[in-house]
Amino acid sequence: MTAPREARSPLGAALGLIGAVALVLGVAPVVQALTGGATPGWPPVLMTALGWVYTAAGLVAWSRRPTNRLGLIMVVGGFTLLASNLGQTHDAVLVALAAVLATVPLAVVVHLLHAFPSGRLTTVASVAVVVTGYLVCTVLQAPLFLFAAPPGPGRLLALAARPDLVRTGEAAQTAAGCAVLLATAGTLVGRARRATPAQRRVLGPLYAYGILAVPLIPLLANLRGRLGWLTPGTVGTLQLVVLAGIPVAFAFAVLRGGFARTGEIEELGAWLGTSSGARPALAVALARALGDDSLRLMFWVAERGEYVDASGRRVELPAAGSGRAAVEVELSGRRVGAIAYDSSLIADPKDVVVAGRVVAIAIDRERLTAELLTSKEAVKNSRARIVEAGDRERRRIARNLHDGLQVRLVLLAMEAQLVAKEADASPATQGAATALRIGIDEAAAELRALVHAVMPAALVERGLSAATEDLVDRVPLPTSLELGVTDGTLPPAVEGTAYFVVAEAIANALKHAGADELAVRLALVDGCLHIEVRDDGSGGASPLAGTGLRGLADRVDTLGGRFRIHSPAGAGTRIIAELPCE
């Protein structure tokens, strides 16, 4: 039989299945009891309800604290209760099973008491007492089902009717049971004494209830004969109520956030032990262990003296009076991070401190990741600033040349021309002045080319598509141009980078590719600028070959874009860049 598996929560599916089985097991005897026989109808119903309470409490504890075994123990208890209720049916095997398991639920309660809060038996003494408890409830139960009645149909286990043996057996079981309870009480008193006052407030009532409930159940049955007002019905009801309170109390104690320190630390320990692939995030594990979903981890970056979150972004410690508090986590005397939590959910910061200590190494490891992300972010930002500063500088230089030197050259050439045209100038002076003017004009032409290379006028005056068109106009080869962008809509850094990518790619194609045709394409796809420059030349271009393409790849990367070169030898070159425009 396979449990229906959900990819998301195999545990949830398995627990659901267990619950379904418990439902079916519980319904059968009820139906049997209500439909036939002379036995009163309601005790089996109550037994079923009790079994369901145990199972349900166990399943809740199990699902909320998957690594804590108390839930499992409670579910086992629930099933033994449901099984012992099968005595109501008319099936001989089930009746026999029910007879054997009749007192096992009491042993389960003893087990719960010893195993609280983690669900594990931590001392040899506890293991011995719990095992003894189970033996008392099974082996010493034997005389009761073997010798209570003569063998007969439907009585599989009955050997003979020997009331004397039954009485001896009962006495032995009661004595041994008392011994188990005394040993349990001794262990628990010791534990409660070692606990902190806060823990004792929960442990005290829980332990007292458990220790009193176990003897009370058989005792109630014995008292029936002596106290006249105790009817069999009242006794049964009282027993069931006392028993039903146990799993509810334990489940509540397990789930109550912030007290069961040992249990939570074991949770965290189990988390550390799981393989890293299946391990949920550290913050989630901590939140689950401490019972505060709003819990956040902060990582200390010492060199910047600030906290960052898991993605490397700067965060502040919660302010006083904000309803949140934080506990610093240290590893070998060095601050590694802090745990911020809801101070109304977790009243005692000590729990957070202890939990932090357990996972300090893990926090330190995540801190390194966060620190790396921080510095990566810082490097990325500084590179972007360098590119922007470079572009600003280019614009400033181009502007200064435009307003300064270029104007001066026009004026100087004008003056030279005026000298040449002066009426009283000698022909030699006129010739020299004209030559001077032409020389100045040539210098101005060189300056124009320089300014164009630094920051083209078309890019400053119009934008990327005008500048690209101007670029393509100057290409001496047939060049197709596809423009899918509107000038004035893109960020300046994107326009600048895109322009220089196209310019460098065209220059490269003209210089090295020996191409006959070029194609330039600019397109805006989903907020991303696609740039493609293609030639039909010799291919074999590599981004590492020249500083030009290498620098462009860096520039594109700085803006969070992608830069690719497809240049198989002999099959042309495609230079593709994608730049996000947000």
Partner 1 sequence: MRVVVGEDEALLRQGLTHVLEHAGYDVVGTAADASELLRHTAERAPDLVVTDIRMPPSHTDEGLVAALEIHRTRPETAIVLLSQHVQRRYATELLGERPARIGYLLKQRIADIPTFCADLERVCAGGTVLDPEVVALMLTRARRDDRALGGLTPRQSEVLALMAEGRTNAAIARRLTITEKAVVGHASHIYEVLGLPPSEDDHRRVLAVLRHLAR
In whole angstroms, give the CA distance from residue 353 to residue 376. Answer: 31
268 binds partner 1 (CB under 8 A): no
- Residue with Cβ nearer partner 1 (350 or 448): 448
- Of 179-187, 311-319, 376-384, 455-463, the window that binds partner 1 (rule: CB under 8 A) is 455-463
Asked if residue 502 binds partner 1 (CB under 8 A), the reply is no
* Least distance to partner 1, CB of residue 522, Å: 15
Quick one: 310 or 520, whose CB is closer to partner 1? 520
Q: How far is the CB of 476 from partner 1 (least distance, A)?
A: 6
By CB under 8 A, is residue 206 in contact with partner 1? Answer: no
Judged by CB under 8 A, which of 30, 185, 326, 416 binds partner 1? 416
| Cβ-based nearer residue to partner 1, 283 or 502 | 502
CB nearer to partner 1: pick between 418 and 523:
418
Burial bucket for residue 116 (CB in 10 Å: 0-12, 13-18, 19+): buried
Measured from the CB atom, the residue of 414 and 523 that comes closer to partner 1 is 414
C-alpha distances (whole Å) from 325 to each of 81, 296, 320, 342 are 45, 10, 7, 6
Determine the Cα–Cα distance for residues 153 and 554; give it in Å rounded to an integer: 91
Binder among 237, 262, 417, 430 for partner 1 (CB under 8 A): 417
Who contacts 166 (Cβ-Cβ below 8 Å, separation ≥6)?
143, 144, 147, 148
Our measurement of the distance from residue 248's CA atom to the centroid of its chain's CA atoms, rounded to an integer in Å, reads 30
515 scored as a contact of partner 1 (CB under 8 A): no
Stretch that binds partner 1, among 273-281, 318-326, 342-350, 453-461 (CB under 8 A): 453-461
Nearest approach in angstroms of CB 447 to partner 1 is 9
Gap between the terminal Cα atoms of the chain: 54
Q: Which of 406, 425, 528, 543 binds partner 1 (CB under 8 A)?
A: 406
Does residue 565 contact residue 543 with C-beta atoms inside 8 Å?
Answer: yes
Per CB under 8 A, which of residues 307..366 are in contact with partner 1?
Answer: none
432 binds partner 1 (CB under 8 A): no
Q: Minimal distance in Å, beta carbon 427 to partner 1?
A: 16
433 binds partner 1 (CB under 8 A): no
Give the CA-trace dihedral at 191, 76, 84, 210, to 10 degrees. 20
Which of 63, 417 has the CB closer to partner 1?
Answer: 417
What separation in angstroms does the CA of 324 have from each of 114, 264, 309, 339?
36, 21, 16, 10
Q: Is 430 in the site for partner 1 (CB under 8 A)?
A: no
For partner 1, the binding residues in 460-489 under the rule CB under 8 A are 460-462, 466, 469-470, 473-479
Name the token pair of 574.
Answer: 């495609």
Number of Cβ atoms within 10 Å of the Cβ of 567:
23
Contact string 152-171 vs partner 1 (x = CB under 8 A): --------------------
**Three-state SS annotation for 126-156:** HHHHHHHHHHHHHCCCHHHHHCCCCCECCEC
Q: Give the x/- contact pattern for partner 1 in 28-67, rule: CB under 8 A.
A: ----------------------------------------
CA 220-225-231 angle, 5° bins: 70
**Which residue do the tokens 């002596």 mark?**
226
User: Which residue, among 453, 446, 432, 524, has the nearest Cα to 483 in the 3D structure?
Assistant: 524
Minimum distance from CB of 525 to partner 1 (Å)? 25
How far is Cα 7 from Cα 230, in angstroms, rounded to an integer? 54
Q: Does 393 bind partner 1 (CB under 8 A)?
A: no
Does the protein bind partner 1 through residue 445 (CB under 8 A)?
yes
Tokens found for residue 424: 């009283």
Near partner 1 by CB under 8 A: residue from 348, 377, 388, 441? 441
Q: Which is nearer to partner 1, 293 or 442 (CB)?
A: 442
The CA–CA distances, whole Å, from 253 to 248, 295, 350, 358, 407 equal 9, 21, 18, 22, 87
Q: Which residues contact 558 (CB under 8 A, 6 or more apart)?
A: 380, 383, 384, 386, 387
- Cβ atoms of residues 484 and 524 within 8 Å: yes
- DSSP-derived secondary structure letter, 301: E
| Under 8 Å between Cβ of 339 and 326 | yes
Member of 440, 506, 541, 576 binding partner 1 (CB under 8 A):
440
Smallest gap from residue 548 Cβ to partner 1 (A): 23
Does residue number 534 form part of the binding site for partner 1 (CB under 8 A)? no
Minimum Å gap between C-beta 541 and partner 1 is: 23
- Report if residue 409 touches partner 1, rule: CB under 8 A: yes
> If binding is defined by CB under 8 A, does position 455 make contact with partner 1?
no
Q: In whole angstroms, what is the distance from residue 14 CA to residue 11 CA?
A: 5
Q: At closest approach, how far in Å is the CB of 423 from partner 1?
A: 13
Q: Which of 268, 451, 515, 522 binds partner 1 (CB under 8 A)?
A: 451
Q: Which listed residue (219, 302, 386, 414) binds partner 1 by CB under 8 A?
A: 414
Identify which range of 162-170, 200-208, 225-233, 414-422 contacts partner 1 by CB under 8 A.
Answer: 414-422
Separation of alpha carbons 472 and 393, rounded Å:
25
Q: How far is CA 63 from the centre of its chain?
A: 18
Binding site for partner 1 (CB under 8 A): 399, 402-403, 406-407, 409-411, 413-414, 416-418, 421, 437, 440-441, 444-445, 448, 451-452, 456-458, 460-462, 466, 469-470, 473-479
